[in-house]
Amino acid sequence: MCGIVGLFLKDKSLEPQLGGLLTDMLITMTDRGPDSAGIAIYGDRMAKTAKLTVQSPAPDADFATLDQDLGEAIGAPVTLRKLDTHAVLEVPAAQMDAARRAARALRPDLRIMSAGEAIEIYKEVGLPKDVARRFGIDRMQGTHGIGHTRMATESAVTTMGAHPFSTGADQCLVHNGSLSNHNSLRRKLRHQGMQIETENDTEVGAAYLSWKMQTGSTLGEALESSLEDLDGFFTFVVGTKDGFGVVRDPIACKPAVMAETEQYVAFGSEYRALVNLPGIDAARVWEPEPATVYFWSH
């Protein structure tokens, strides 16, 4: 049992409130998963610039001169913004792959949370309210985001085992459920060149969708394929640079509710995650259908 939330803003005037709204939604879901929590925020993009969000078990040591060291390694300017155990590195977009390789070589204990033009992922072990406070999520702004609070079933309670999982540029996935064929699929995806770092079944789901999109599928087509290729029970919420998508397995035993107004589209594992959103009393509220793909984009 885990808790998922998602918020896609149509109204730009709400963008300064995105972090605060998502934080409130996720804290409401705390009792569905007290082990770890995380949020992906899709924020402002800068021309020809990409962001690499990293985590360290020893942030003071690892982040002290990381921007300088990384800049020297890739031969380009790098800026660093530290938030507790995480840091956001801004690098030239053309140097993103080189920056990822160099960061791992320079700081072997560094863990890459996400990479892309817009995405930043913050996740740690602990309750949603504590994780959100550590990173100041409630003060962040953006266009859309997704969050997750976890009750571990498939792997250990660790930072890397927390959701969201990101396996492609500006892509991430949160999941409630359990995939029964993740071990065989993990081997197949690694053989195809996908990098999967944990034993968590959700990361396999994220890598599957990334692989499908890298081989020519749209997100909608990838989600449709997941209904055939993934075994188990699942509700997925997927974030991309331009929006988010939702799909439930054909049996749909994991709870889910959605709401839409002229200002936003929202997702929650339970309706109580949505009750404090502006204008929720006038929203169209429904339960997403089994084996049906929903997607919204800017």
Residues noted as catalytic: 2
Q: Which helix (H) or strand (E) holds 130?
A: helix 128-135
Cα separation, 280 vs 286, whole angstroms:
12
CA-wise closest residue to 173 among 183, 164, 182, 160? 164
298 SS3 class: coil
Query: What is the number of other CB atoms lying within 10 angstroms of the CB of residue 167?
Result: 23
164 upstream amide cis, omega within 30 of 0: yes
Are the C-beta atoms of residues 131 and 124 closer than 8 Å to each other? yes
Which letter does DSSP use for residue 126 in this model? S
CA-wise closest residue to 288 among 269, 263, 261, 275? 269
Judge residue 260's burial from the number of C-beta atoms within 10 Å of its C-beta, 0-12 exposed, 13-18 middle, 19 or more buried.
Answer: middle
267 SS3 class: strand
Cα separation, 202 vs 226, whole angstroms:
12
